[in-house]
Amino acid sequence: MSTSDKPREIGKDIGYFIRDLRRNAGVSLRQLAEKAGVSNPYLSQVERGLRKPSAEVLQQIASALRVSTPVMYLRAGLLDDRDGPGVLAAIAADPDLTVAQKQTLSQIYETFRREITRDTDTIEEET
């Protein structure tokens, strides 16, 4: 499998996982979209693996389905279970933070991680 295939497969995996959770909960696509605060077409695309949701959207879906956000992050490839709970899991598990605070911290962390990856790629290309 090439590296370019991996995001597509992870997107399908998390989409199928969300669909299974939704169906097991007896919730329609429309109901879940409304509870999670996303559009019905967007959620449909996520479930079919056409879109990979952000950490924020995964957190909203996890909350709407009453499942653990870290589990959702693991399935989406945002956490690596080999390294134990990561920053996103710690943020999601913190009982003293509001949902909005957790979303903001997760977004900031993801931004920093993308910058680090981009900087690392640039350095590797220059060498």
Per-residue pLDDT of the chain (127 residues; tens, 9 = 90+): 334 444 445 557 889 889 988 998 899 999 999 999 999 999 999 999 999 898 889 989 999 988 877 778 777 877 665 545 577 777 777 788 877 787 788 778 878 877 877 766 676 666 6
Residues in the chain: 127
Which among 8, 74, 62 has a CA at the least distance from the CA of 35?
Answer: 62
SS3 content of the chain, % helix, strand, coil (to 5): 75, 0, 25
Task: Say how far apart CA 109 and CA 91 lie, in whole Å.
Answer: 10
| Angle ∠(25,29,32) on CA atoms, nearest 5 | 65
Residues 6+ apart with CB under 8 A from 68: 62, 92
- Give the domain ranges of the chain: 3-126
| Angle ∠(110,35,44) on CA atoms, nearest 5 | 75
Task: Say how far apart CA 10 and CA 27 lie, in whole Å.
Answer: 23
What CATH number is given for 3-126 in this structure? 1.10.260.40
